[in-house]
Amino acid sequence: MTMLKEGRPTAPEPVKEAHMAPATATGNRALMLEEALIFEIGSVDTTGVDFPDAPKVESRLGGLARTDAIGLPGLSEQETVRHYTRLSRQNYAIDLGLFPLGSCTMKHNPRLNEKVARMPGFADIHPLQPQSTVQGALGVINELAFWLIDLTGMHGVAMTPKAGAHGELCGLLCIRAALEARGDARQVVLVPESAHGTNPATAAFCGYQVENIPATPEGRVDLAALEARLGPDVAAVMITNPNTCGLFERDMKKIADAVHAAGAFVYCDGANFNAIVGRVRPGDLGVDAMHINLHKTFSTPHGGGGPGSGPVVLSEALSPFGPLPYTARMADGTIHLIEEENVGEEMPQSFGRMSAFHGQMGMFTRALTYILSHGADGLRQVAEDAVLNANYVLRSLEDVLDAPFGASGPCMHEALFSDKGLAEGFTTLDIAKGLIDEGFHPMTMYFPLVVHGAMLVEPTETESKAALDQFILALRSLAERARAGDEALKGAPYHAPRRRLDETLAARKPVLTWSEPELAQAAE
Ligand SMILES: *Cc1c(COP(=O)(O)O)cnc(C)c1O
């Protein structure tokens, strides 16, 4: 096969499998079209637009004007539109089908949210506008803050963090400021084995030493091991609840009491709040700080790196240290943004800022729309249906896939399976690739690390029973093939635009620039 210098085949890969139809001349498969790079469609010597000749003016660049070609591809409007439309058709999206990624809460984004976020009064304003002209937008932030405090039973909320991980950073900075205020230089943050990678990363980023707490065989934090490790050097414990094994940490109250008795703080990773919203208030469990991923629980769109929003709810002990700015309703009913210059006596201990302005306005508008359109009863039903759907997946597949914690009772928002029982040589990756052929985005794989070959499925509450049944049918068939040792599965995906890629190479040595297409010859 001939390869471009970029390592991409010059021609579509022929389908060699006997049961497949022969390759087409174009590489197109029915309505799924092959697509070249934009540089290969257009040419750097052509242009898609007709500009009048520029009038001769004297250069003011002092001899620094570019003399060589800029090297951008020239395409007509139609070629450009087709290029991006074809590429977009090779993408999978929540608007196409179920997105079973565990720990991601990929749910339907109601169009009402989008409509409200696009209203000119929200979409066309600027963070530096006089506050008197954006009272409605500040009101949205203030009201959303009220809802988040109410839903979590906490004391305060920092609205400015822009993602879950950013919220973790905000929470740990509050904890550090509170410890420093009492002259306490604790160095250690405890994190359970099953934690999301952002937890230890955040603690390390804040300069803390990270230590693991083991899990019990039932997949929960080992309370005895945690208590044994607590001491005067421990600043905080970071616990995810429900945890990344899809289980509720039943000992949360006991954990919080022990942590507080040892003079430390409880950070709760609230990324999985969707499973308990309206049912459990983290404030009642003794949590000191918890981020909420608006882009998960409150349905603002996510994936592909953003945008996100990660407000952090804070206990009474931590609220005075939260970041600026924040909104406050004045006696005359107007809403003010409290900044460094007008903070007054209220929050002299704030650790500073998390972002230049007020946070992710578009996400706030969407989240508040979602909350108000669901109402209190609707939000509670979100949690109930999310848990019901996950348990339906878990119980429908546990005869063909090993469910390591299936015996410890119902799961919460996600169903966790392992690769135990697959035929020799078959892996979680084979099942994930098989799912692509079946028309589904793969589930989260190899996370959490406490389970061998983990497959983590979070269907969310927005999937219908019919959609879940389709997914279960696909996953069941793949599990049966992997158990029976069906060699063909190792070649999946067969029907996707690309087959199995060298994902490690792609991640470690991404080719991000285009260069002139000299063909590097690589033997077939
Ligand atoms: C998604 C997630 C995070 C990180 O949130 P981002 O918004 O992606 O930064 C942290 N912890 C858990 C458990 C998560 O699922």
Please give the full DSSP string across 104-151, using - where no structure is assigned. T------HHHHHHHTSHHHHT--TTS-GGG-HHHHHHHHHHHHHHHHH
β 444-445/156-158 pair status: unpaired
- Give the residue numbers spanning the domain of 267: 112-368
CATH of the domain at 145: 3.40.640.10
Q: For 6-27, b where at least 16 C-beta lie within 10 A, e where not — what string?
A: eeeeeebeebeeeeeeeeeeeb
Q: Is 163 in the pocket of ligand 1 (CB under 6 A)?
A: yes
**Separation CA 444–CA 447 (nearest Å):** 7
Name every residue whose Cβ is closer than 8 Å to that of residue 395 and which is 6 or more positions away in sequence: none
- Whose CA is closest to 290, among 304, 307, 276, 305? 276
Residue 523's pLDDT is what?
39
Q: Cβ(418)–Cβ(451) under 8 Å? A: yes
In this structure, are 303 and 390 located in the same domain?
Answer: no
The per-residue pLDDT for range 50-106, each reduced to its tens digit, is 888 889 888 899 989 888 878 888 899 999 999 999 998 888 889 999 999 999 999
Q: What is the mean pLDDT of residues 485-493?
A: 96
DSSP letter assigned to residue 43: B
Query: Which residue, judged by its Cα, is nearest atom 15 of ligand 1?
Result: 103
In this structure, are 352 and 226 located in the same domain?
Answer: yes
Q: Kindly state whether residue 299 falls inside one of the protein's structural domains.
A: yes
Q: Is 458 in the pocket of ligand 1 (CB under 6 A)?
A: no
Q: Is 202 in the pocket of ligand 1 (CB under 6 A)?
A: no
In this structure, are 137 and 238 located in the same domain?
Answer: yes
3 state SS of 32: strand
Q: Cβ(364)–Cβ(140) under 8 Å? A: yes
Nearest-10 crossing angle of helices 164-181, 198-205: 40
Instruction: Indicate the pLDDT class of residue 522, thresholds 50, 70 and 90.
Output: very low
User: Which atom of ligand 1 is nearest to 195's Cα?
Assistant: 13
**Separation CA 291–CA 271 (nearest Å):** 7
In this structure, are 139 and 258 located in the same domain?
Answer: yes
**How many domains does the chain contain in total?**
2
Distance of CA 66 to the CA centre of its chain: 42
Q: What's the 174 CA to ligand 1 centre distance in angstroms?
A: 19
User: Which atom of ligand 1 is nearest to 308's Cα?
Assistant: 7
In this structure, are 284 and 413 located in the same domain?
Answer: no
In this structure, are 342 and 212 located in the same domain?
Answer: yes
In this structure, are 123 and 236 located in the same domain?
Answer: yes
pTM: 0.89
3 state SS of 21: coil
In this structure, are 351 and 428 located in the same domain?
Answer: no
Q: What's the 489 CA to ligand 1 centre distance in angstroms?
A: 31
Q: Is 271 in the pocket of ligand 1 (CB under 6 A)?
A: yes
Q: Kindly state whether residue 88 falls inside one of the protein's structural domains.
A: no
Q: Cβ(250)–Cβ(209) under 8 Å? A: no
Q: Kindly state whether residue 327 falls inside one of the protein's structural domains.
A: yes
Task: Evaluate if residue 194 carries a pLDDT over 90.
Answer: no
In this structure, are 305 and 409 located in the same domain?
Answer: no
Backbone phi, psi, residue 79, to 5°? -60, -40
In this structure, are 340 and 468 located in the same domain?
Answer: no
**Separation CA 138–CA 371 (nearest Å):** 17
The per-residue pLDDT for range 199-256, each reduced to its tens digit, is 999 999 999 999 999 999 999 999 999 999 999 999 999 999 999 999 999 999 999 9
In this structure, are 431 and 473 located in the same domain?
Answer: yes
Q: What's the 269 CA to ligand 1 centre distance in angstroms?
A: 8
